[in-house]
Amino acid sequence: MLPQFFRGGDLDTLDAGCGNGALSWAAYRKGNRVLGVTMEPAQIASDREIYASVGADSSRLEFQELNLRDVLSLDRTFDQIICSETLEHIKDDKKAVEDFFQLLRPGGVLHVCAPNALHPEHLQGRNPETEPEDGRHVRDGYTLETYRALLEPAGFQIVASAGIGAAPICWADRLLRPIRGRFGMGSKGEAAAAPVFLLLSPVQLLDRLNPPVPFSIYVQAVKPAE
């Protein structure tokens, strides 16, 4: 559901924490030039192979191994940044969003989606000060209030928000989580879960925006134009 919020056209987009590349592909199909980054080399190899096989132009849809701690090393700027289901894994989320602000051009937009910290599936009392940064969640997630506390001091203005993930999505996640956990939280876990994910993909048709208790919360934040 996130791609409906992406800006289309001849824009430069960074997918920060691209995973299987699905959101990178969605932005590419909207006409963007897209760079997807993740710290997992096996995932990068897989993404390059998958999207080359469906005819993506590699000069407009690129994938690169990169730890988000080093995102400023890209030494380039973007019109929009996608960061989906990633910030909850990063201890220093404050530095991450400050770096995103620096990478965005004036008027650029940041799309963030992360677990709803108040959803029963996520509410476990995780503390970034004590949780290991090993690929699992270091915090339960975010609320609109904690998003504001994170993004506004960095200079962003939140212009839109939405709850994402109704009950069927939560049910599907409960089925996939043990598979990912058995094989690890990285590309091996995602690969192991892929067949089940494909079988469950029709469940996404039952999803809708702003269910009573959303699984994740999306915000769109803008860097003010100069």
pLDDT digit string, tens, across residues 124-133: 999 999 999 9
pLDDT exceeds 50 at position 171: no
User: How long is the chain?
Assistant: 226
pLDDT exceeds 50 at position 82: yes
pLDDT exceeds 70 at position 223: yes
pLDDT for position 181: 52
pLDDT for position 198: 45
Tell me the C-alpha distance between 171 and 58, whole Å: 36
Is residue 59 within 8 Å of residue 49, measured between CB atoms?
no
DSSP string, 11-26: -EEEEET-TTSHHHHH
- 226 DSSP 8-state letter: -
User: Which residues in the chain belong to E strands, given as ranges?
Assistant: 12-16, 33-38, 61-65, 78-84, 104-115, 157-164, 216-222
What residue ranges do the domains of the chain occupy?
Answer: 9-165+215-222, 167-207
pLDDT for position 179: 47
What value does the mean pLDDT of the chain take? 86
pLDDT for position 211: 75
- Strands 61-65 and 78-84 come out as unpaired
Tell me the C-alpha distance between 23 and 177, whole Å: 20
pLDDT for position 155: 98
Is residue 111 within 8 Å of residue 80, measured between CB atoms?
yes
Band of pLDDT at residue 121, cut at 50, 70 and 90: confident
- 1 DSSP 8-state letter: -
Instruction: Map tokens 């192979």 to a residue.
Output: 49
Tell me the C-alpha distance between 209 and 107, whole Å: 26
- Phi/psi region, residue 112 (left: phi>0; alpha: psi -120 to 50; beta: rest), is beta
pLDDT digit string, tens, across residues 20-48: 898 999 999 999 999 999 998 988 998 99
Is residue 204 within 8 Å of residue 169, measured between CB atoms?
yes
pLDDT exceeds 60 at position 180: no
pLDDT for position 43: 87
Q: What is 9-165+215-222's CATH topology?
A: Rossmann fold (3.40.50)
217, 210, 80: which is closest to 156 by C-alpha? 80
pLDDT exceeds 80 at position 167: no
pLDDT for position 204: 52
Band of pLDDT at residue 169, cut at 50, 70 and 90: very low
Tell me the C-alpha distance between 1 and 222, whole Å: 20
Band of pLDDT at residue 1, cut at 50, 70 and 90: confident
Band of pLDDT at residue 202, cut at 50, 70 and 90: low
Tokens of 31: 């006409």
